[in-house]
Amino acid sequence: MPIATVDPATGETLKTFEPLDDAEVERRLALAHTAFGRHRTSTFSERSRLLNRAADLLEEDNAAIAKTMTAEMGKPVKAARAEAAKCVKAMRWYAERAEGLLADEHPAQADVEDSGATRAIVRYRPLGVVLAVMPWNFPLWQVIRFAAPALMAGNVGLLKHASNVPQTALYLEDLFKRAGFADGCFQTLLIGSGAVEGILRDERVAAATLTGSEPAGRSVASTAGDDIKKTVLELGGSDPFLVLPSADIERAAATAVTARVQNNGQSCIAAKRFIVHADVYDAFRERFVAGMRELTVGDPASEDTDIGPLSTEQGRTDLEELVDDALARGATALCGGQRPKEQERGWYYSPTVLADVTPQMRIHKEEAFGPVATLYRVADLDEAVALANDTPFGLSSNVWTRDDADIERCVQDLQAGGVFFNGMTASHPGLPFGGVKRSGYGRELAGHGIREFCNATTVWYGPSEPDAKG
């Protein structure tokens, strides 16, 4: 895949970039290795000052970088501005809290004495150079939620971003340089996916994090595992959205629309499978389908647009194939199910709700990465939970109920990295984020995320004087 900015709204190639050659990749690896030697010994206050400065610069750049994201991957510009603002929030969150999150831990005194020590601590030390393989769908946020904690912990980063967002990737490198981080602390590598294995195997790279597809995760995890290197993976999701009898149907349906079509429907944590109790199915379906029909599809640069184009032509083709397979096997399109006739150029797809979906259809098991929802009717909570778990993914889940027994049951039995009640899944710097099953492993954000790429070092102190009996 070429490294280029291609406008998804028109299909026009706006700018192309040559990938780095082997000599330049080597230079950057050496620079990262040298930078880590210095950065790991800097103080938390120094890192905090630099990260806060980067946050200030990003805040100033909000409008400009939002336009870049919209041009590169089709995100509605108002959503792009919100993404940049969210990054600023996360950077400041880690700048203020990293020192406390990584403070020395003191085991219970009874355990210290039982170990034969006079005292013991656990100290978190940075691992080194971390390679980040990041996706195009949230081209700023996915990177910042890795970079902010990694840099505050004393690590340095190498970014291999998706090939269709090169200008956003280069902006991130420049942002950290302007903020005052030393050369090599954060670098963007404009390379193809074929170059990732060699970089990951380099002994100067300590670990890797990847957000992306299941095949990409398998590849990175396999390579890293072969070289015994730590990885964190955030892969696909097909999140369930359960609506139970006690739910506020008006709110649930309105939220369901946003939860399905956020980021043009191209989000791993977007709700995709809407599982509704028979008692409230008709009321929910009417409101949900009406809400999907009312969305404005159009130019992502317009403030009035709700849904822009999909990021690539291939992405739209993949989505069309899932929908066409379902329709051919008996599913019903309650709305959408085709390209919008109003957009002759660009990679648009109409907001779609499919009913009568069966396990024989690909979309029952595969992730639909676009504004397509599947709607299921269930008889009771047992059937709802079983259907929610009938997926290879386990990123997050949404449940609408006001019944305490329903809540406890869902917390206990839903196979997901998160359970969100009476709201939609969202990531926040103060809450751990990640999945189970084929959605990956490890956690980003919160204290869990900053400690993923740290060495939890046990420091044990024996008696300073020899045993008198010895």
Q: pLDDT (tens digit, 9 = 90+) per residue, 444-465?
A: 999 999 999 999 999 999 998 7
- The answer to whether residue 416 scores a pLDDT higher than 90 is yes
Q: pLDDT (tens digit, 9 = 90+) per residue, 320-366?
A: 999 999 999 999 999 999 999 888 899 999 999 999 999 999 999 99
Average pLDDT over every residue of 405-422? 98
- The answer to whether residue 467 scores a pLDDT higher than 80 is no
**70 phi, psi to nearest 5 deg:** -60, -40
pTM over 0.85: yes
Distances from the Cα of 258 to the Cα of 23, 100, 306, 352, 425, angstroms: 46, 35, 10, 13, 11
* CA–CA–CA angle 95, 101, 105 (5° rounding): 150
CA nearest neighbour of 33 among 226, 225, 203, 178: 203
> Could you say which of 72, 83, 173, 234 is catalytic?
234
Q: pLDDT (tens digit, 9 = 90+) per residue, 8-43?
A: 999 999 999 999 999 999 999 999 999 999 999 999
DSSP-assigned letters across all residues of 299-333: -TTSTT-SB---S-HHHHHHHHHHHHHHHHTT-EE
CA nearest neighbour of 94 among 459, 453, 457: 453
* Pairing verdict, β 352-355 and 372-378: parallel
- The answer to whether residue 188 scores a pLDDT higher than 60 is yes
- The answer to whether residue 299 scores a pLDDT higher than 60 is yes
* Pairing verdict, β 398-400 and 420-421: parallel
Share of the chain above pLDDT 90, in %: 97
* CA–CA–CA angle 176, 46, 442 (5° rounding): 65
185 a catalytic residue: no
444 a catalytic residue: no
Encoding tokens for residue 300?
A: 């992502």
- The answer to whether residue 292 scores a pLDDT higher than 60 is yes
**Half-sphere exposure in the Cβ direction for 26 (13 Å, CA):** 3
Average pLDDT, the chain: 97
> In the beta sheet, which residues pair with residue 242?
275, 399
Average pLDDT over every residue of 53-68? 98
* Pairing verdict, β 230-234 and 239-243: unpaired
pLDDT at position 343? 87
Task: Judge whether 435 and 234 are in contact, CB under 8 Å.
Answer: yes
> Could you say which of 268, 335, 410, 454 is catalytic?
268
Q: pLDDT (tens digit, 9 = 90+) per residue, 201-240?
A: 999 999 999 999 999 999 999 999 999 999 999 999 999 9
Task: Judge whether 62 and 85 are in contact, CB under 8 Å.
Answer: yes
pLDDT at position 464? 84
Dihedral sign computed on CA atoms, order 325, 328, 331, 333 = positive
Q: pLDDT (tens digit, 9 = 90+) per residue, 160-174?
A: 999 999 999 999 999
Encoding tokens for residue 136?
A: 């195009």
- Own/partner contacts of 100-109, CB < 8 Å, gap of 24 or more, are 101/447, 101/450, 101/451, 102/44, 102/153, 102/450, 102/451, 102/454
Share of the chain above pLDDT 70, in %: 99
Give the integer Cα–Cα distance in Å for 348 and 341.
9
- The answer to whether residue 90 scores a pLDDT higher than 50 is yes
> In the beta sheet, which residues pair with residue 353?
335, 373
- The answer to whether residue 286 scores a pLDDT higher than 70 is yes
**Residues 6 or more apart from 386 whose CB is under 8 A from it?**
none
Coil/strand/helix, residue 124: strand
Distances from the Cα of 410 to the Cα of 22, 100, 305, angstroms: 51, 33, 35
Average pLDDT over every residue of 418-428? 97
- The answer to whether residue 376 scores a pLDDT higher than 70 is yes
Residue 395: band (very low, low, confident or very high) from pLDDT cuts 50, 70, 90: very high
